[in-house]
Structure 1
Amino acid sequence: MNIGEIAKRSGVSRSTVSYALSGKRPVSKETQRRIQAVIDELGYRPNAAARALKEGRTRTIGLVIPPASQRLTDVQLGFVASVVDAAARADLDVLLSPSGGEHDRSFERVVTGSRVDGVILMEIRLEDDRVTRLRQTGLPFVGIGHTSRPEEMTWVDIDYETLISRCVHHLADLGHRHIALVNRSAELVAAGYGPSHRAQRGFSRAIAERGLEGVQVCCADDAQAGTSCAERLLATHPELTAIATLNEAAMPGFYRALAHARLTVPGDFSLTGVAARRWAENLHPPLTAADILADELGAHAVELLIQRIADPEVPHRQLLVAPPISLRETTGPARPRSRHA
């Protein structure tokens, strides 16, 4: 038995049967019922496709990622891998879709084309048009990240505000009085990227609580930008003895700039921040950091989405994670930099 025979007995085209099985294009309810009756009579079971037809679902979820033109950070790649893995365990396929700029057409096709049963949305801004669009369509969705109105959606997220604050307190406990926050790019901050703004709040709060001197700068997501950024900080703020960051992609550049300045880590200068665990462990020396466990968060996001697909009226749920700082080899007691000038 094949699709051609089903089409013949149902009185429709092969493509109509294919669309009915895959859900890639809408098929009228009457046609679906006619096709399903033939399938039931003949015992045809094309693995997941027949289940999808009977359930009225595609058994596919969408994962909306940053634009393909941008290099994904280790944390972002971790989220993608964990979502794909968790979805596979649930017998679901994953359709990747970039968003932003010219990629918005791809996002629109995902949310309106009956291609997926639900969506997981990454890299969320405080005011995010994608969230608004998904709410308008009624398509179940879950965020890895959240907007400025967290109660209005289901999400999992890292508590960047708390974690950057903890980094500052850790450095203050070691005697550091002059600390810099190196954020993500200026473009992301200007666009309202949630983690960047929450990190700024946490940094400012901790600096005030400990009576420290703090400076905040933005940096693009690559090592070369990290080198330039750290060199500027060292030149314009000679009193600095430590950096806290959520920009893991720039971190190798910090190491390079400090080495060029003949500053040892952690003897002369301390580094800490929020980063993927494997990334932090593989730096030399290994980075003291609040470790993001992307595999756990991605699995939670898939679980929450499955719940919303099964019951779109289920109350919104939120999971905010604040892992402890893992002490490694990049933070130590403060030393005045003037002796190294």
Structure 2
Amino acid sequence: MNIGEIARRAGVSRSTVSYALSGKRPVSAATVQRINDVIAELGYRPNASARALAEGRTRTLGLVVPPASRRLTDVQLGFVGSVVDAAAAHDLDVLLSPSGGDHDRSFERIVTGRRVDGVILMEILLEDPRVERLSQASLPFVTIGHVEHPGASWWVDVDYGALITRCVHHLADLGHEEVVLINRSAELVAAGYGPALRSATGFLDATAARGLTARTVCCADEAAAGLACFEQIRTQWPSVTAAVTINEAALPGVQRALHRAGLEVPRDFSLTGVIAERLAEDFHPPLTAADVPAVELGRLAVDLLLAQIADAGAEPRHALLEPPISLRSSTGARRHG
């Protein structure tokens, strides 16, 4: 069944049917209702390509992801899955494009190739040239994360600084006096990766406010690095009794290191942080943590992008989420002696 048959049965022109479907020109409510009745009767579903052509859009969103050489974390996979699901709910497709390393040309094709109606950008640096490039191109975009001075950009993020601060206060309330932040890799910190730097700032400010001895360590995003980092912590700072982390990929290695050292959580050592809920639940014992709401962030990013596409002159909007800390079983009072 095609538009011509719908037009014939509704007693209107093909262009009127097209305008009623796309909304590009006004059509009377009575005519729209008549067309919709025919569509319902015939079970018509517009061809995606024809619909995109009629609307002057691709009906595709771009999602810029880390390169394949970097294994995606659970949180990052959550972002990807939720963006795809949210787009599908609007009958939209998602085009994945890697960014970073040798993939600059792929990102540039997304920006200039008219392949997408808008872009969602992940893994934001405090000073991110990709954000500047998208702003210059006048292509609608939303970032998951935000630059240091977001200005007129649209973004969604988790308040890592505030959440790490709350984790530190929780440990201080339990009597811990020397704590360590297990951050992301030294390369990401040096590049200005937003969550890593904001977490470090929140950690240092909170430990200073509570009079705690603060230690920090960078750790690569893999289990082997987590094991090595924790062994380094035990060797270099043996009086540390608790850790805060945003490095979920390192957690399996940290768990092995704890077991190897004969430390029982939380009797001998407490651990908390900001990570994906699944990993927090799978940790042994379940990890007290602020669970990153990846599904909600992805959905919000799509909603903001569609609002921006629909109204290019709309005032920029953002959402900064601060999920509660889920008290599970990995933190306890500091043991004396």
Report the TM-score, using the length of structure 1 for normalisation: 0.85
Structure 1 segment 320-331 matched on structure 2, within 5 A: 320-331=320-331
Does residue 161 (structure 1) correspond to residue 161 (structure 2)? The answer is yes
1:217 maps to a residue whose letter is V
1:241 maps to a residue whose letter is T
Q: CA shift at 1:284, angstroms? A: 1.5
Does residue 94 (structure 1) correspond to residue 94 (structure 2)? The answer is yes
Q: CA shift at 1:45, angstroms? A: 8.3
Q: CA shift at 1:192, angstroms? A: 0.4
SS for the counterpart of 1:152 is coil
SS for the counterpart of 2:71 is coil
Does residue 303 (structure 1) correspond to residue 286 (structure 2)? The answer is no
Structure 1 segment 92-131 matched on structure 2, within 5 A: 92-131=92-131
Q: CA shift at 1:151, angstroms? A: 2.8
C-alpha separation in 2, matches of 1:45 and 1:327: 48
Give 1:192's aligned residue: 192
Structure 1 segment 234-313 matched on structure 2, within 5 A: 234-313=234-313
Count of aligned pairs? 296
Structure 1 segment 131-170 matched on structure 2, within 5 A: 131-170=131-170
1:186 maps to a residue whose letter is A
Q: CA shift at 1:61, angstroms? A: 0.2
C-alpha separation in 2, matches of 1:150 and 1:335: 44
Q: CA shift at 1:152, angstroms? A: 2.6
Give 1:202's aligned residue: 202
Give 1:51's aligned residue: 51
C-alpha separation in 2, matches of 1:71 and 1:102: 16
| C-alpha distance after superposition, 1:286-321 (max 9, x if no partner) | 110001111111000000000011111111111000
C-alpha separation in 1, matches of 2:92 and 2:132: 25
C-alpha separation in 2, matches of 1:254 and 1:94: 35
SS for the counterpart of 1:150 is coil
Structure 1 segment 204-219 matched on structure 2, within 5 A: 204-219=204-219
Does residue 85 (structure 1) correspond to residue 85 (structure 2)? The answer is yes
C-alpha separation in 1, matches of 2:139 and 2:155: 15
Structure 1 segment 40-79 matched on structure 2, within 5 A: 47-79=47-79
1:177 maps to a residue whose letter is E
C-alpha separation in 2, matches of 1:182 and 1:153: 30
SS for the counterpart of 2:335 is coil
SS for the counterpart of 1:101 is coil
C-alpha separation in 1, matches of 2:127 and 2:206: 25
SS for the counterpart of 2:58 is coil
2:93 maps to a residue whose letter is D
Which consecutive residues of structure 1, in runs of 5 or more, have no partner in the other structure?
A: 3-43
Q: Percent identity?
A: 66
| C-alpha distance after superposition, 1:48-72 (max 9, x if no partner) | 1111111110000000001111000
Farther off after superposition, 140-149 or 253-262: 253-262
Q: CA shift at 1:157, angstroms? A: 0.1
Give 1:231's aligned residue: 231
Report the TM-score, using the length of structure 2 for normalisation: 0.86
2:128 maps to a residue whose letter is D
SS for the counterpart of 1:199 is helix
| C-alpha distance after superposition, 1:263-306 (max 9, x if no partner) | 10000000000011112111221110001111111000000000
